């Protein structure tokens, strides 16, 4: 390593206080470490939590060697924009006390089921992790699936404490699926019945345990491979578990019971919300954050940009994105306006983060289904509320068609061209085939063929008054004049 030699992390820091194990965490990846474990570390420092976390490696491959070499300590570096200012904040996290391999160290792992102080189970096993597999077996050490592992662990805990009502567990999945806690609970109860674990266990699950559904939001960029050594020099120690993320964070926890005493994070000034209904917050994220991406990315890419940050430096594109949110999306949402405005302002800061190089084409993956989920509800809400079309969201559909037009199937995608240079789009096979076969049609014919595809949009978009003509006219204008000229003409004044 060039420059001044730095010491290992463990040589630079003092021993952390011994705290009781309160959290078992399935998944040792970057997101949980820069989100949940980071927050709990702050809660420990402020005296609200007084607990430690044990990481569980829930898959049979991979290694925990670096965790043990660093005594499970690591640095989180938050970098981005706050209130228009560039910020970098590092924190040495000491909330994790151990890491265990559920396969190679099964007995050690299984013993945590009987730990008196255990109160919370957190997981991030990817979207594919919360699946019901009735071929999974209770006798396996451990069962194959995450729901299988969780069911067995909870069952052994119930037996160990004779179904004591105060020994239940709060389960906090953060997997990116809708109603993640509801889905996980269904899997656990189905396995319980399939494995014939008994009615007493199922009653204990209902009465003593709490399955929460959560919504999480933070871009975690993980280990900064290209910058690691330079950051080590600044920190003064070598950290091979260094984890980078944006400053913005949000954790919405939906629960049928009040669990705030067990997870006292709002008291620490952390962005955690407890609610009995997370849907308005999910809607806010999908329609504002994700909707901003989906509506402005085709526009930005066709204007010649390749990454989000670069596009945000283009005043025409930035204004298009912001006006879409403030004038066309926010008016259709139900949360208090001030809350929505703050979230939208945070979106602008997040898009302008100089430390994140988010490729526009990667955001374009499956753009048609994303437009349906993220933008169409705002279009419908705007039409219902105002009796007219939202001009920028309408234009975004034309821009999406312009992005896909004139391409040919190649290498599992649709190869199109921008200023003569090829780019590859990935989407559902039906979408790619549609544009390969129809993308060179006249604007009016292509628009009609696209908007009547109910399999793409869940409805016939030509039935929305005026939308077909508006989109067709916009697409024809883009073809004739180029997208930048049309935007300046329509939205640049």
106-136, pLDDT tens digit by residue?
Answer: 999 999 999 999 999 999 998 789 999 999 9
Helix (H, G, I), strand (E, B) or coil at 493: coil
Please report which confidence band the pLDDT of residue 83 belongs to, taking 50, 70 and 90 as the band edges: confident
Edge-to-edge strand order for the sheet containing 243-245?
85-93, 74-82, 243-245, 220-222
Given this model, what pLDDT does residue 11 score? 63
- What DSSP assignment string belongs to 321-336? HHHIIIIIIGGG--S-
What is the arithmetic mean of pLDDT over 35-60? Answer: 97
Given a cut of 80, is residue 269 above it in pLDDT? yes
Given this model, what pLDDT does residue 187 score? 98
Question: For 193-230, what is each residue's pLDDT tens digit?
Answer: 999 999 999 999 999 999 999 999 999 999 999 999 99
Given this model, what pLDDT does residue 99 score? 98
Please report which confidence band the pLDDT of residue 10 belongs to, taking 50, 70 and 90 as the band edges: confident
User: At which residue do the structure tokens 């396995």 appear?
Assistant: 191
Question: For 318-355, what is each residue's pLDDT tens digit?
Answer: 999 999 999 999 999 999 999 999 999 999 999 999 99
Given a cut of 50, is residue 66 above it in pLDDT? yes
Please report which confidence band the pLDDT of residue 1 belongs to, taking 50, 70 and 90 as the band edges: very low
Given a cut of 70, is residue 2 above it in pLDDT? no
The answer to whether the beta carbons of residues 182 and 130 sit under 8 Å apart is no
Please report which confidence band the pLDDT of residue 14 belongs to, taking 50, 70 and 90 as the band edges: low
Query: For 235, phi and psi rounded to 5 degrees?
Result: -70, -30
Question: For 229-252, what is each residue's pLDDT tens digit?
Answer: 999 999 999 999 999 999 999 999
Contacts of 473 (CB under 8 A, 6+ apart): 443
What is the arithmetic mean of pLDDT over 154-169? Answer: 98
State the Cα torsion 474-475-481-486 to the nearest 10°: 30
Given this model, what pLDDT does residue 493 score? 59
The answer to whether the beta carbons of residues 354 and 86 sit under 8 Å apart is yes
What is the arithmetic mean of pLDDT over 353-371? Answer: 96
Given this model, what pLDDT does residue 412 score? 87
């Amino acid at each position: 390593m060039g420059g001044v030699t730095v010491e290992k992390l463990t040589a630079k820091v003092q021993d952390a206080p011994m705290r009781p194990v309160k959290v078992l965490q399935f998944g040792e990846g970057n997101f949980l470490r820069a989100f949940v474990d980071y927050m709990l570390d702050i809660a420990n420092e402020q005296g609200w939590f007084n607990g430690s976390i044990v990481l569980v490696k829930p898959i049979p491959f991979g290694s925990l060697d670096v965790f043990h070499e660093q005594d499970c300590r690591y640095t989180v570096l938050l970098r981005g924009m706050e209130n228009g200012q560039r910020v970098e904040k590092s924190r040495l996290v000491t909330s994790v006390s151990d890491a265990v391999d559920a396969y190679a160290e099964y007995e050690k792992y299984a013993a945590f089921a009987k730990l008196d102080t255990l109160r919370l189970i957190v997981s991030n096993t990817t979207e594919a992790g919360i699946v019901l597999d009735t071929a999974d077996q209770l006798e396996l050490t451990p069962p194959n699936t995450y729901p299988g592992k969780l069911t067995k662990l909870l069952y052994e805990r119930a037996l160990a404490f004779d179904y004591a009502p105060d020994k239940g567990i709060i389960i906090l999945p953060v997997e990116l699926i809708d109603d993640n806690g509801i889905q996980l609970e269904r899997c656990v109860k189905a396995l319980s019945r399939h494995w014939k674990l008994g009615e007493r266990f199922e009653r204990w699950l209902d009465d003593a345990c709490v399955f929460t559904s959560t919504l999480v939001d933070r871009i975690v960029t993980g280990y900064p491979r290209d910058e690691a050594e330079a950051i080590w020099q600044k920190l003064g120690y070598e950290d091979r578990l260094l984890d980078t993320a944006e400053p913005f964070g949000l954790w919405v926890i939906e629960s049928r019971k009040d669990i705030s005493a067990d997870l006292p994070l709002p008291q620490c000034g952390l962005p955690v919300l407890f609610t009995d209904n997370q849907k308005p917050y999910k809607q806010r994220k999908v329609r504002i954050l994700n909707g901003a991406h989906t509506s402005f990315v085709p526009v930005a890419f066709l204007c010649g940009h390749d990454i989000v940050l670069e596009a945000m430096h283009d005043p025409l594109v930035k204004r298009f994105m912001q006006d879409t949110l403030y004038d066309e999306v926010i008016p259709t949402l139900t949360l208090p306006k001030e809350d929505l405005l703050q979230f939208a302002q945070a979106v602008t800061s997040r898009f302008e983060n100089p430390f994140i190089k988010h490729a526009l084409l990667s955001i374009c993956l499956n753009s048609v289904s994303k437009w349906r989920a993220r933008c169409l509800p705002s279009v419908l809400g705007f039409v219902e509320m105002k009796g007219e079309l939202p001009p920028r969201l309408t234009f975004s559909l034309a821009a999406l068609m312009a992005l896909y037009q004139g391409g040919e199937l190649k290498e599992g995608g649709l190869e199109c061209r921008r200023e003569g240079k090829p780019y590859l789009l990935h989407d559902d096979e039906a979408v790619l085939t549609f544009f390969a076969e129809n993308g060179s049609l006249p604007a009016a014919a292509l628009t009609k063929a696209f908007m009547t595809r109910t399999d793409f949009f869940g409805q016939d978009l030509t039935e929305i008054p005026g939308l077909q003509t508006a989109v067709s006219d916009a697409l024809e204008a883009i073809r004739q004049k180029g997208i930048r000229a049309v935007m300046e003409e329509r939205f640049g004044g």
